[in-house]
Amino acid sequence: MAAKVSHLYGPSRPRTFEQDVLPHLNTVYNFVRHLTRNDQDAEDVVQEAYLRAFRFYSRFRGGDARPWLLKIARNVFYTGLRQNSRFDQIDFGQDLTIPDRHFPNPEEAVLQSTTGAMLQRALEALPSHCREVLVLRELEGMSYQEIATVLEVPTGTVMSRLSRARALLRQFMAESMTGNSGQMP
């Protein structure tokens, strides 16, 4: 059953939950996957976020549903984190990269896989407030204002967190490539 909000779009163009919200499923999952660091936990959070979004769709004021959905998903994650610490576990032994089968040169494939795994470990090692702003900006291409809406912080905070996240990521990658400890400060 589609939830309709025709009063926001006029009688000639009613919008539905499916039209506004479902196109952002991959974005929400990718964001939450970086927060939880676990596929199953990410699926659980996304499912709960979409249930909440459906329940409160009548409060959605129209426009781009992506920031609204990401904000809901983030709130679901942090509520779950407060209630259950399982989201805060890190497994650095887990290789989350998928090898690229289209590389003709095995050395290039190994290098890409190693760099990808290193980047994934670096991203996962970031503090959550840095990781989420980096994922939203660099992987999801959101504007500073959209990120500020999702995180419920001022735009200046988004910019400073992003700067800090990029610096920590560079530091971790440099230390990993030179063989140093590779631990986040």
CATH at 148: 1.10.10.10
Global pTM value: 0.66
> Does 17 share its domain with 78?
yes
| Angstrom distance (rounded) from CA 153 to CA 141 | 18
The pLDDT, as a whole number, for residue 152 is: 93
Banded pLDDT at 82 (limits 50, 70, 90): confident
109-118 long-range CB contacts below 8 Å, 24 or more apart?
Answer: 118/173, 118/176, 118/177
Instruction: Centre a 10 Å sphere on the Cβ of residue 80 and count the other Cβ atoms it contains.
Output: 18
The residue written with tokens 């259950």 in the block is: 84
168: left (phi over 0), alpha (psi -120 to 50) or beta: alpha
The pLDDT, as a whole number, for residue 115 is: 67
> With 60 as the cut, is the pLDDT of residue 50 above it?
yes
User: Has residue 95 been placed in a domain?
Assistant: no
Final residue of a domain: which of 32, 57, 87? Answer: 87
State which residues form the domain around 158: 106-178
Please tell me the number of Cα atoms within 13 Å of 181 on its side-chain side.
4
> With 80 as the cut, is the pLDDT of residue 8 above it?
no
The model's pLDDT over 129-151, given as tens digits with 9 standing for 90+, comes to 899 999 999 888 999 999 999 99
The pLDDT, as a whole number, for residue 97 is: 41
Please give the mean pLDDT across all residues of the chain.
Answer: 78
| Angstrom distance (rounded) from CA 34 to CA 114 | 19
